[in-house]
Amino acid sequence: MIRRDTEFKRTVLVVDDEDVNRALLGAIIEQKYNVLYAKNGKEALEQIKQNADSLSLVLLDILMPEMDGYEVLGEINKDSKLKKIPVVVLTSEKSAEVKSLELGAADFLSKPYNLPEVILARVQRSIQLFEGNKIIQATENDALTNLYTPEFFFEYGHQYDKRHPSHEMDSIVIDFSRFHILNELHGRETGDEVLIKIADGIREIFNENFGIACRHDADTFYLYTKHRAEYTSVIEKITAKLISILKSQEIRIRMGVYFDKTHEIPFESRFDRALQACNSLRNKHGSAVAIYDEERHQKEMFGARLLEDFDTAIHEKQFKVYFQPKYNITGDTPLLSSSEALIRWIHPELGFIRPDLFIPLFEENGLVQKLDRYVWKEAAEQIKKWRDKYGITKPVSVNVSRVDISDPDMTDYICKIIEENEISSHDYLLEITESAYTDNSQQIIDIVNNLRDKGFRIEMDDFGSGYSSLNMLTTLPIDALKLDKGFINNIAHGNKEMRMVELILEIAEFLKVPVIAEGVETREQLELLKVAKCDVIQGYYFSKPLPPEEFNALIEKDIEVRKELKAKEKEKEQKRR
């Protein structure tokens, strides 16, 4: 059980003008409570006002010089906040009891004093009544882990703060990610055992540093504990408990921390922030800690602003679709093969906003569906505009978020827009990120199969950033692999990254899947990839993403290049004859 009695002491004020009485009562009560003293009514009122938030009870003598107990009760009654603090009156006269009860006293203790146990019991009862029985009624413990239940935890946390407003505390959310998979893989019993071990680890932490904890959801724990400077040791403690039942690579503990110095924001909100920090680790593998700090707060405020402005932005067409060319480098001359549609937000006040600042945010609350539909439509219309202008079709690929995939109408919608723009499905490509495949593979495979049956081509985006095995590639329905930028960044002749890229290219060749390298910035990278038989290149080396008007120039140039090539070929052909 978590250490409670030693740390979570309520405060009681003892008011009596006689030194002996104060000392006597104090000695009894100090066993279980923090005790404050006042030796007359005036001092009592001052103490009550000063400690209004932390006082659980006042023991008030009636007969005192200067300001007596009745007067103090009267003053307390005038203040709605003070009125809530229970007062137990100390008196030897029967008549005083009735009068003080009428004035709002919660109870009375008659002098001479009873047995200490009786006094303690009555003090406790009055406090319990004052606290609305909240703590006592809530089921205290979670049956599985023996940590607190969430209700009890929150109530306890509130009371703790009230009594210790100056303690620097950390609000922590710990989450075992992919717990459901663990359950499926090893069975529920092991799952339960994991949760119990985590709870054990948490208790061990509290042995060094006070804290309370509950199991919030199935696999999520909330901790409220004295501030500490580092957290890796906390994760290590918990991991150590799990190592006996799980392989180390199966242990994925995420931890979000909110450090609260001043108790400025409500207790619950601190855990919202800790949870946010925790969730920010969602796509990280292994165990990790995230602290909710000022930077994160700013980011969150920025995010909130973007969410607020979304509808207006759609309405006012602040979102612009840019196009980045992809060049086929299998021949001597690079040829423009297609382009990728990439969204930009030109915000009237915040200026140019990069998609990685808002796409993940919009993915979280589903807005990305609306945005993507907008992009998909713009892209389809652009294909048509180019065809009308140049008489040729340049295929475009659009990004499909993992959120889009769960939308049952997605395929219908895409079919509709390509029909409206009289485009062949073969010229409309869909980029789906690798991690979407690993997240819900069967669903995605079904949808992708259906799309391919309809003639669409699917490119697996960011390949290598996720954790799909190369083996998975043999069963996945895809038409091209887009190598993640991260690989290309660091390739150099003969280095590890290059070897990795070569390996992937070899496998892709074996599977007859063309490979697109993304993020190619230099001539050297291009040459290396060309030698390794990479098919298509996308990157700043050729061009940044461009608004359609500027992209026109690339198409025009490509038309020229192709014309020249054809002429040369014809020449060659004629020479041969």
Contact 477, 471 (CB under 8 A): no
Q: Which is nearer to ligand C2E, 211 or 519 (CB)?
A: 519
Q: Which of residues 289-328 bind ligand C2E (CB under 6 A)?
A: 324
**DSSP string computed for 53-119:** TTEEEEEEES--SSS-HHHHHHHHHHSTTGGGS-EEEEES-HHHHHHHHHTT--EEEESSP--HHHH
| x/- letters, 364..383, toward ligand C2E (CB under 6 A) | ----x---x--x--------
Which tokens go with 569?
Answer: 């070929």
Helices (H), 106-148: 116-130, 134-137
**Shortest distance (Å) from residue 228 CB to ligand C2E:** 37
Q: Which is nearer to Ca ion, 67 or 500 (CB)?
A: 500
Residue with tokens 């979304």: 310
Does residue 459 bind ligand C2E (CB under 6 A)? no
Answer left, alpha or beta for residue 391, where phi above 0 means left and psi between -120 and 50 means alpha. left
Does residue 434 bind Ca ion (CB under 5 A)? no
Q: Which of residues 372-411 bind Ca ion (CB under 5 A)?
A: 399
Q: Which of residues 446-465 bind Ca ion (CB under 5 A)?
A: 461-462
When binding is defined by CB under 6 A, the residue of 180, 354, 370, 416 that contacts ligand C2E is: 354
Does residue 283 bind ligand C2E (CB under 6 A)? no
| x/- letters, 490..529, toward ligand C2E (CB under 6 A) | ----------------------------xxxx--------
Stretch that binds ligand C2E, among 54-62, 186-194, 450-458, 537-545 (CB under 6 A): 537-545
Which tokens go with 339?
Answer: 């382009």
Does residue 211 bind ligand C2E (CB under 6 A)? no
> Rounded to whole angstroms, what are the CA distances from 273 to 290, 307, 500?
11, 18, 39
Does residue 43 bind Ca ion (CB under 5 A)? no
Helices (H), 293-390: 294-315, 355-364, 367-390
The interface partner of residue 423, options being Ca ion, ligand C2E, none and the CB cut-off 5 to 8 Å by kind, is none
Does residue 399 bind ligand C2E (CB under 6 A)? yes
- Residue 255: phi and psi, rounded to 5, are -140, 125
Does residue 339 bind ligand C2E (CB under 6 A)? no
When binding is defined by CB under 5 A, the residue of 431, 434, 535, 558 that contacts Ca ion is: 431
Whole-angstrom distance, CA of residue 293 vs CA of residue 7: 28
Stretch that binds ligand C2E, among 182-190, 210-218, 297-305, 534-542 (CB under 6 A): 534-542
The interface partner of residue 359, options being Ca ion, ligand C2E, none and the CB cut-off 5 to 8 Å by kind, is ligand C2E
> Rounded to whole angstroms, what are the CA distances from 25 to 31, 93, 104, 288, 547?
11, 18, 22, 51, 81
Task: Give the distance between the most distant pair of CA atoms in the chain.
Answer: 130
The interface partner of residue 127, options being ligand C2E, Ca ion, none and the CB cut-off 5 to 8 Å by kind, is none
Whole-angstrom distance, CA of residue 67 vs CA of residue 364: 62
Q: Which is nearer to Ca ion, 258 or 319 (CB)?
A: 319
Please list, in sequence order, all residues whose beta carbon lies within 8 angstroms of the beta carbon of residue 318, skipping any fewer than 6 positions away. Answer: 312, 345, 346, 347, 348
Please list, in sequence order, all residues whose beta carbon lies within 8 angstroms of the beta carbon of residue 6, skipping any fewer than 6 positions away. Answer: none
Q: Site residues (CB under 6 A) for ligand C2E?
A: 324, 342-343, 354-356, 359, 368, 372, 375, 399, 401, 431, 461-462, 485, 518-521, 538-540, 545
Q: Site residues (CB under 5 A) for Ca ion?
A: 399, 431, 461-462
